[in-house]
Amino acid sequence: MKKLFFLTLSLIFVLSAGFAQDAEKDYKDAKKAFNTYMLDPTANKPKLKDAVDAIDRAMGDAAIQKLADAWITKGKIYNEIASQITVIRQTNLGKIEDLPAVANPAVQAAKAFMEAIPVALKKFETKDALTGLQATQSNLSNFGIVAYEGEKYQDAYDNFSLVLSSHELLKKNATKSALDADTDMNNQLYITGLAALGNKKTEVAKPLFEQLYKAKFDKAAIYEALYQIEAEKDANAAYVYLDEGRKLFPDETSLIFADINHHLKLGKLDALIDKLKTAIAKEPNNVSLYTVLGSVYDNLYQKTVDADKAKADEYFKAALDYYNQAAAKDPKNVDAVYSIGALYYNVAATITQKMNALENDYTKEGLKKYKEMRDQVFAEFDKALPYFKKAESLDANDENTLIALKEIFAKKNDLTVSSEFKKRLETIKGGGKNAKSYFNE
């Protein structure tokens, strides 16, 4: 049994030695292939793929992973791929498909150079790794920008964050970095924060934007970002950032809209009016601003209709005015058209509530008053109906429009049409779609 045991150990040793030799050969082959490629990149392009394949196999071995030069070799190979891709993108000369297909080459190159530093045994190895890391910074930045513009925020963040961490490592080793100037550092913090925010990494984005906030970096998005991050916990406390940003950048529309949304969320209607008018002055063709301001006045009308008729009438006229302006700017804007109909419909609903209180009053005066109110209700329905018809012709599947049409036709005792809209509502609620509008135009 002992002989068999020792025989097994010997076999394992032989196999391990064989694998180690193969890994060492791959590492050397990778260096040789890459050096041949670099002598003439155009003529020796296939050698770059040979180098990638060989170094990837070699780096799977634990012994090779302890060699700084192996990591440096990998870093050089992958950084060359990143550089070639960057050149092709910038000059449109050559094809990216002709290069080895590797994921995130700049990221892999930077990480390889970083791995080399702690295992370097000689000064020149450390220097080579740091030089390689310096070279990756521009590629990381370029790849990050391309990913960010393509809304691939995870890839953008992976590249951008390594620009920052490579800077820290270079500075730790007293080596020049692309981020030595404060402006360059702040720009990198900024774009990295935006990428993190785009990828919903708020816990990562927060310290980056806080650093920029303390440095008073001149970007409006910093204040909006910090507001968004803090508003998840406390919108009122977060408003400090938004308020400060609005004072520093009064013409920045993104901050204006964030301010509007903040007040909408908290239901601070009175404060919204001036903010929306300011936004309209900045973007006079933005139809949604007119509909939102119309809805603010609409809500104020609803709140004051029973308490202050004069004020309510003022709010009603303002709501109708802004809804009409929206519809005039975009006649096919369903929200604007529907909102005008809803404005009249809600007037009818308010009168109906008062009218219902007279249902059991059979006096001559009570009956007269009931009839007057009933006539008013139908008059408001008649004002609302054309707008609901128009809205339905624009969108046959808007649930609110269909509900309003069903109710109005029911009140008018047109049960056939009312039933039709009931069916259309059921179709939507069942997960279906109405194939075409009832009121075709």
Task: With 0.75 as the threshold, say if the pTM is over it.
Answer: no
pLDDT value for 28: 93
- Residue 313 confidence (pLDDT): 92
The DSSP 8-state label assigned to residue 340 in this structure reads H
Q: List pLDDT tens digits, range 360-400.
A: 667 878 788 878 888 898 999 999 999 999 999 999 999 99
* Angle, CA of 2, 6 and 7, to the nearest 5°: 115
Confidence of residue 17 (pLDDT cuts 50, 70, 90): very low
The percentage of the chain sitting over the pLDDT mark of 70, rounded to a whole number, equals: 94
Burial 19-50 (b: 16+ CB within 10 A, else e): eeeebbebbebbbebbebbeeeeeebeebbbb
What would the pLDDT profile of 265-303 be if each residue is shown by its tens digit? 887 888 888 888 988 998 999 998 999 899 889 988 988
**Considering only 152-156, 275-279, 326-330, which range has the smallest mean pLDDT?**
275-279
pLDDT band at 354 (very low <50, low <70, confident <90, very high): confident
Segment holding 126, helix H or strand E: helix 123-149
One-character DSSP codes across 257-322: HHHHHHHHHHT-HHHHHHHHHHHHHH-TT-HHHHHHHHHHHHHHHHHHTTT-HHHHHHHHHHHHHH
Mean local confidence (pLDDT), 141-145: 96
Could you report the per-residue pLDDT of 195-230, keeping only the tens digit for each? 999 999 999 999 999 999 999 999 999 999 999 999
Helix (H, G, I), strand (E, B) or coil at 156: helix
